[in-house]
Amino acid sequence: MNSRRTFLQHLTVSAGILPFAIGSSAYIQPESEYIPEVQDGPVLKVALMGLGSYADRVAKAMQDCKRAKITGLISGTPDKLESWGAKYDVPEGSRYNYENFDAIKDNPEIDAVYIITPNAQHHGQCLRVAAAGKHVICEKPMSINAQEGKEMVEACEKAGVKLLIGYRMHFEANTLNAVRKRQNGDLGEVKFFQGLSGFIIGDPTQWRLDKDLAGGGAMMDIGIYAINGARYMVGEEPIWVTAQEVKTDPVKFKEGVDETITFQLGFPSGVIASCLSTYSMNYLDKFFLLGDKGFVEMQPSTGYGPIKAWSHDGDITKPHVTHQTTQMDQMAAIIYDGKKPEIPVDGEEGLKDMKIIDAIFLAVKSGQKVNLNLG
């Protein structure tokens, strides 16, 4: 089954031939200078919920983690529980299905649950995990609308547990380097951002094309990268959005399942972000941030890596480290050490993206500019 994740993986292979290097005089620092340090501390014991293709990627990456370990499994497929349990040394007593996973409450070998299930299931599963007293790590988008996201934040706050969203790019070296260049004034005054996110989706029967499971189409899958990227690259919160939808295949993309949406975000400083989210075009994984003194460009910008980045003064690509390995180690530090990430990954961060997605769908429907209040 094709997915954004398969596409992004393939995209990085072809990206090696892109003309990303502008000049060759940029100083290349030793690899050790870019890899985020992981302080010694307690190991986060994690149960993976939803044992699909992305969970497989996360599980493999976690084998290299210093502070996160797989200690539990939750799935509706008994065969997966058995095979994954054997592969990752998870005892039968820490394997659960979707009916009985509330029993994790009494399992001291589970500190957190990483929810990697279809979007529409995140809300209910998050509330149950929080009620069991375990920290929640939830894949993006955190829910199918802002109301559900708000309830997830409130449930975790009430239970006294952390809610973190799987924004792996917030820990990625090239992304952080690009953001720092803007913060340091290397680009001057920011003027414009472009975010392109898309691929041609395959199997028409997959859950990502089922509105009841996905909550939409491309926007709820690949489009959130452009939304979230616009926010951390520009360094402001948008105050309005306009959007237009194009649908060329109403059979594959049924009512409520978007094929292609172009959208524009306006920021308080006057910066405009022009973005595209699509399930019908390949080779779209690009960020471009322009200032009055320079620019930063990334392509691929959100794939599994290696990410490629360059600016007006040369190649700024950092060495590749598996994103999910860094993500899980850093999330352990957030939960146990109170570490504050450079770019937030908490529930409030996820909720802001959901408010923007709600507004994009409203702008498509109404044809009008929709004001945003992300406070």
The 3-state secondary structure of 207-258 reads HHHCHHHHCCCHHHCCHHHHHHHHHHHHCCCCCEEEEEEECCCCCCCCCCCC
Q: Give yes or no for a contact between 224 and 232, defined as CB atoms under 8 angstroms apart.
A: no
Identify whether 333 is part of a domain.
no
> pLDDT of 135-168, one tens digit each?
999 999 999 999 999 999 999 999 999 999 999 9
The reply to whether 158 and 195 lie within a common domain is no
The reply to whether 360 and 308 lie within a common domain is yes
Identify whether 327 is part of a domain.
no
- From the list 45, 69, 134, 140, the catalytic residue is 140
- Taking the CA atoms of 36, 326, 137 and 82 in sequence, report the sign of the dihedral they define: negative
The reply to whether 144 and 37 lie within a common domain is yes
* Mean pLDDT, rounded, for 282-289: 98
What pLDDT is recorded for position 11? 40
> At 174, which helix (H) or strand (E)?
helix 173-183
d(CA 362, CA 165): 24
The reply to whether 143 and 161 lie within a common domain is yes
Single-letter residue type at 2: N
Number of alpha helices (DSSP H) and beta strands (DSSP E) in the chain: 10, 15
The reply to whether 282 and 297 lie within a common domain is yes
> pLDDT of 10-44, one tens digit each?
443 333 333 333 333 333 344 444 455 778 999 99
> pLDDT of 205-248, one tens digit each?
999 999 999 999 999 999 999 999 999 999 999 999 999 999 99
What pLDDT is recorded for position 19? 33
Identify whether 328 is part of a domain.
no
Q: Give yes or no for a contact between 38 and 337, defined as CB atoms under 8 angstroms apart.
A: no
Q: Select from 168, 189, 214 the last residue of a domain.
A: 168
188-221 burial string, b = 16+ CB within 10 Å, else e? eebbebbbbbbbebeeeeebbbbbebbbbbbbbb
> pLDDT of 81-97, one tens digit each?
999 999 999 999 999 99
Nearest-5° Cα angle at 232, 24 to 169: 70
CATH of the domain at 58: 3.40.50.720
What pLDDT is recorded for position 295? 98
d(CA 330, CA 188): 30
> pLDDT of 37-70, one tens digit each?
778 999 999 999 999 999 999 999 999 999 999 9
For every residue of 102-158, DSSP letters joined together read GGGGG-TT-SEEEE-S-GGGHHHHHHHHHHTT-EEEEPSS-SSSHHHHHHHHHHHHH
Interacting residues of 93 by C-beta distance below 8 A, sequence separation 6+: 107
Q: Select from 137, 168, 199 the last residue of a domain.
A: 168
- From the list 54, 96, 167, 225, the catalytic residue is 225
Q: Select from 168, 196, 218 the last residue of a domain.
A: 168
CATH of the domain at 246: 3.30.360.10
> At 6, which helix (H) or strand (E)?
helix 4-14
What pLDDT is recorded for position 35? 52
> Is residue 134 predicted with pLDDT exceeding 90?
yes
- The alpha carbons of the chain give a radius of gyration, in whole angstroms, of 20
232 included as an active-site residue: no
The reply to whether 366 and 236 lie within a common domain is yes
Q: Give yes or no for a contact between 67 and 130, defined as CB atoms under 8 angstroms apart.
A: no
Number of domains into which the chain is organized: 2
The reply to whether 207 and 223 lie within a common domain is yes
> Is residue 7 predicted with pLDDT exceeding 60?
no
Nearest-5° Cα angle at 242, 241 to 245: 130
Please tell me which residue, 13 or 127, carries the higher pLDDT value.
Answer: 127
* Mean pLDDT, rounded, for 247-260: 97
The reply to whether 214 and 363 lie within a common domain is yes
> Is residue 8 predicted with pLDDT exceeding 50?
no
What pLDDT is recorded for position 30? 40
339 included as an active-site residue: no
What pLDDT is recorded for position 335? 98
Identify whether 189 is part of a domain.
yes
What pLDDT is recorded for position 32? 41
pLDDT tier at 261 (50, 70, 90 boundaries)?
very high
The reply to whether 173 and 160 lie within a common domain is no
> At 196, which helix (H) or strand (E)?
strand 190-198
The reply to whether 95 and 179 lie within a common domain is no
Identify whether 249 is part of a domain.
yes
d(CA 244, CA 362): 10
What pLDDT is recorded for position 38? 78
The reply to whether 194 and 287 lie within a common domain is yes
The reply to whether 187 and 297 lie within a common domain is yes
Identify whether 175 is part of a domain.
yes
What pLDDT is recorded for position 375? 80
For every residue of 261-291, DSSP letters joined together read EEEEEE-TTS-EEEEEEESS-SSEEEEEEEE
d(CA 241, CA 263): 7
Classified as helix, coil or strand, 361 is: helix
Please tell me which residue, 338 or 35, carries the higher pLDDT value.
Answer: 338
For residue 10, the enclosing domain spans 4-15+169-321+346-371
